[in-house]
Structure 1
Amino acid sequence: MEYIDKSPLFKNLEKEEIEVQLAAVGAVKKFYEKDSYLFVQEDYPEKLYVLVEGSVAVSNIEEDGKRTIVNIFKESGTVFGEVYVFMENRMYDYSCVALKDSVVLEIPKEEFLDYKNWDEPFVKVMIRNMINVLSQKAFYLNTKNLILSELTLRQKLMRFFQQNEQNGKVILKYNREELADYLGTTRPSVSREINKMKKEGLIDVRGKIVYLLKKGEDRDE
């Protein structure tokens, strides 16, 4: 079970014990076809989710139909929906849709929060793990706020690339349309600006890899 090995929720826990504990709280794996929704805005949260395989997007859909992507999860073991599990009487502000056929582990909210359902040593480790998950999510949202606070599209793109850069390159998990939704703009605008940045020697793009050719921020359109 690769998702157990990779999930930060189950870090430092034995696989056999995890399986026993998950069965005890009624956790189940559920298959979602591409374009089907795991939950929608204004649903009340009932589950904690762990991605087993596939890909899902969490997004906000405004009244005019405009979509803004909050995050895309593709890594097996990724935990999502956890913030709302800990909030009382709070509806989802976002929707979650399968980008491809996907399998998700669903842990019932009430059983998850009732610590009497878990062995004491197990739950102590899992609480520490959940704090780490929540901390990482807060850091991610803070980073996104910094990106979106930039004034121009070029500034947003450069900030996005710099925040996700490792060893001079960025491996994109978004396609152009998804990146545009993430940045709150249109796909043609993103493609046009990326092409300008390539021509000016700021970046090189090869498939899903973006190479940063100049360090530092370029602030001019």
Structure 2
Amino acid sequence: MKKVLLTLSVIGMTFLASCGGGKDAVEATDAQETSTASETATEYVVNTAVSSTSWKGGKIYEDTSKPEEGHYGSVKLKSGTVTVKDGVLESGSFVADQTTFESADKNDLPDEKAKLDGHLKSGDFLDVEKFPEAKFEITKVTKLDTGDYNTEISGNLDFRGVPKNVTFKANVKEEAGKVTIKSEEFKINRQDFGITFKGGGGSIIKDDVLLQLDVTADKK
């Protein structure tokens, strides 16, 4: 059966990183062969109106008396497809429009929001003019029988032209003609994808970024 590609806006990969939490960044390895769907799998199309990807990032200061500064926001999914058999995810693809990236924590400060979003979309970070989309292709799915999540997903995250394989956990549910995928907050290292901007004005951009997927797909 046809191979299903998965594209995801690197989930608003705002590589301003902060992200609390004690977990280490997920390992980013070489890209792998993408997964395929079985002939009897059901295909679902991502509902871009209700699906979202989110990010959290931040910076610290050389002057340690200043508190750490964090930001958070989202980026819109442009398209996506997943295949499921007997409630188990088999393959899929998400596409996100990097030009829709925004920082929600600045919503009440439009001038600051415009300045921050403009910088994060620039060549220092997302470089959306050159890379208007980010991609994620599922390469492996493992069903989990214990813990808070029922699925482990591995896939090639192609961000700014740098494909890396990453793994995270999620809850996948198939019910009433819909599939939902709600991931854990997982941490990536921005430098794995060539984002090396260090900061300025006495600030230091943290390398870690938290990402989270909340996807709903409808039966095709």
- Normalised-by-shorter TM-score class: under 0.3
TM-score by length of 1: 0.26
Q: TM-score, normalised by structure 2?
A: 0.27
Larger Cα Rg: Structure 1 or Structure 2? Answer: 1
Q: Which has the larger share of strand?
A: 2
